[in-house]
Amino acid sequence: MFSKILIANRGEIACRVIKTARRLGIKTVAVYSDADSGARHVAMADEAVHIGPPAARESYLLGDRIIEAARRTGAQAIHPGYGFLSENAGFAEACGAAGVVFIGPPPAAIRAMGSKSEAKKIMEKAEVPLVPGYHGDDQSPDLLAKEADRIGFPVLIKASAGGGGKGMRVVESAAKFADALAGAKREAKAAFADDHVLVEKYLTRPRHIEIQVFADAASCLYLFERDCSIQRRHQKVIEEAPAPGMDPARRQAMGEAAVAAAKAIGYRGAGTVEFIADQDGTFFFMEMNTRLQVEHPVTEAITGQDLVEWQFVVAAGGRMPLAQDQLRIDGHAVEVRLYAEDPARNFLPSTGTLVHLKLPEDGPHVRVDTGVRQGDTVTPYYDPMIAKVIVHDRDRASALRRMAVLMGETEVVGVTTNAGLLKALCGHPAFVGGEIDTGFIERHRTTLFAAVAPADDLAFAIATLARVVEWREAGRDAARASDDPWSPWNEQSSFRLLDEGHDEVRWKDGERDVAVVIRRLRGDGLRLELPGGAQDAAVRRADDGRLAMRLGDETFAATVVRRVAGDGGIDYTLFADGRSRRLRLVEPLDVTQYEATASDETAVRAPLPGKIIDLKVKAGDTVTKGQPLLVLEAMKMEHTLAAPFDATIKSVRYAVGEQVSEGAELVEFEAGG
Residue 539 lies in a domain: yes
Q: Do 132 and 154 touch, CB atoms closer than 8 A?
A: no
State the average pLDDT over residues 485-495: 59
Q: Do 436 and 476 share a structural domain?
A: no
Domain span at 46: 4-103
The Cβ-side half-sphere exposure at 32, using a 13 Å CA radius, reads 21
Residues 166 and 42 in one domain: no
Q: What CATH number is attached to the domain comprising 152?
A: 3.30.1490.20
Tell me whether residue 578 is in a domain: yes
Same structural domain, 157 and 214: no
* Residue with more model confidence, 599 or 505: 505
Q: Which of 180, 177, 179 is nearest to 146 (CA)?
A: 177
What distance in Å separates the CA atoms of residue 426 and residue 472, rounded to the nearest whole number?
39
If you write DSSP's letter for every residue of 473-542 in order, what string do you get? HHHHHHHHHSSSTT-GGG------SSS---EEEEEEETTEEEEEEEEE-STT-EEEEETTEEEEEEEEE-
Does an H or E element contain 567, and which?
A: none
Q: What is the mean pLDDT of residues 1-27?
A: 98
- Nearest 10 degrees: Cα torsion 48, 54, 56, 62: -50
Could you say which of 557, 591, 625 is where a domain stops? 591
* pLDDT range class, residue 669, cuts 50, 70, 90: very high
Q: Are residues 361 and 215 part of one domain?
A: yes
Q: What is the mean pLDDT of residues 48-65?
A: 96
pLDDT one-digit tens code per residue, 586-605: 976 544 443 333 334 688 98
Closest CA to 400 of 338, 449, 452, 333: 333
Is the per-residue pLDDT at 124 higher than 70? Answer: yes
CATH number of the domain residue 646 falls in: 2.40.50.100
Flag whether pLDDT at 670 surpasses 80. Answer: yes
| Alpha-carbon gap, residue 523 to 660, rounded angstroms | 55
The yes-or-no verdict on residue 522 having pLDDT over 70 is yes
| pLDDT for 478 | 74
434, 312: one domain:
yes
CB atoms within 10 A of CB 323: 10
Burial class (CB in 10 A: 0-12, 13-18, 19+), 21: buried
Beta bridge partners of 4: 27
| Whole-Å CA distances, 158 to 127, 278, 539 | 22, 19, 55
497 part of a folded domain? yes
> Within 13 Å, how many C-alpha atoms sit on residue 116's CB side?
27
Domain count, the chain: 5
Residues 49 and 30 in one domain: yes
Of 450, 472, 492, the domain-final residue: 450
Q: Rounded mean pLDDT of the chain?
A: 90
Q: How confident is the model at residue 163 (pLDDT cuts 50, 70, 90)?
A: low
Position 490 confidence tier, pLDDT thresholds 50, 70, 90: low
Most confident of 286-295, 511-520, 565-574: 286-295
d(CA 298, CA 277): 20
Do 171 and 320 fall within a single domain? no
Which amino acid would we find at residue 245? Answer: G
Provide the pLDDT for residue 636. Answer: 66
Percent of the chain at pLDDT > 90 equals: 71
Residue 548's pLDDT is 95
Note whether residue 88 is domain-resident: yes
Strand order, beta sheet including 385-393: 283-289, 269-277, 207-215, 220-232, 235-241, 332-339, 385-393, 366-370
For residue 595, the model assigns a pLDDT of 37
Once rounded to an integer, what is the mean pLDDT over residues 113-131? 87
CATH of the domain at 69: 3.40.50.20
Which of the four pLDDT bands, split at 50, 70 and 90, describes residue 165?
Answer: confident
Higher-pLDDT residue of 664, 47 = 47
Catalytic residue among 40, 169, 207, 291: 291
Helical axes 89-97 vs 107-114, angle rounded to 10°: 170
pLDDT for position 336 = 98
Whether residue 332 has pLDDT greater than 70: yes
pLDDT for the residue numbered 487: 65
Domain match, 286 and 405 both: yes
Quick check: 103 and 85 in contact, CB under 8 A? no
CB 480 within 8 A of CB 565: no
Rounded distance between C-alpha atoms, residue 289 and residue 116, angstroms: 10
**Residue 612 identity (one-letter amino acid):** I
Residue 186 maps to a domain: yes
Q: Which of 201, 228, 245 is the last residue before a domain boundary?
A: 201
- Which amino acid is it at 264? A
Q: Same domain, yes or no, for 514 and 441?
A: no
Distance CA(160)–CA(194), nearest Å, equals: 8
Q: Residue 489 has what pLDDT?
A: 58
- Is 291 one of the annotated active-site residues of the chain? yes
Query: The domain spanning residue 399 has which CATH number?
Result: 3.30.470.20
- 91-99 average pLDDT score: 98
Report the alpha-carbon angle 551-555-557, nearest 5. 105
Q: Averaged over 539-568, what is the pLDDT?
A: 90
For residue range 398-431, what is the model confidence (pLDDT) as tens digits? 999 999 999 999 999 999 999 999 999 999 999 9
d(C-alpha 184, C-alpha 198), whole Å:
10
pLDDT at res. 626: 85
CB 170 within 8 A of CB 188: no
In this predicted model, what pLDDT tens digit does every residue of 369-394 receive, in sequence order?
A: 999 999 999 998 899 999 999 999 99
Q: What are the backbone angles phi and psi of residue 108, rounded to the nearest 5°?
A: -60, -35
Closest CA to 91 of 103, 270, 197: 103
- Looking at the fold, whether 253 and 285 belong to one and the same domain comes out as yes
Most confident of 53-57, 185-189, 218-222, 667-671: 218-222
Nearest to 59 by CA among 42, 34, 77: 34
Q: What is the pLDDT of residue 594?
A: 38
CB 558 within 8 A of CB 576: yes
Of 72-76, 534-538, 589-593, 651-655, where does mean pLDDT reach its minimum?
A: 589-593
CA distance 659 to 381: 12
Please report whether residue 119 resides in a domain.
no
Residues 215 and 194 in one domain: no
More confident residue, 607 or 33: 33
Q: Give 598-632 as a DSSP string.
A: HHHHHEEE-SSSEEEEEE---TT-EE-TT-EEEEE
DSSP reduced 3-state for 660: strand
**What pLDDT shows up at residue 104?**
97
Average pLDDT over residues 96-117: 93
Predicted local distance difference test score (pLDDT) of residue 600: 46
Residues 266 and 412 in one domain: yes
Please report which confidence band the pLDDT of residue 281 belongs to, taking 50, 70 and 90 as the band edges: confident
Report d(CA 131, CA 201) in Å as an integer. 7
**Of 348, 340, 271, 263, which Cα lies nearest the Cα of 310?**
271
Residue 125 included in any domain: no
In this prediction, residue 610 has a pLDDT band, given cuts at 50, 70 and 90, of confident
Nearby residues of 72 by Cβ (< 8 Å), 6 or more positions away: 49
- Residues 351 and 334: their CA atoms lie apart, in Å, by 27
Question: Band of the pLDDT at 251, cuts 50, 70, 90?
Answer: very high
Q: Please give the pLDDT value at position 542.
A: 93
Examine residue 440 and state whether it is found in any structural domain, yes or no.
yes
- Residue-level pLDDT at 114: 85
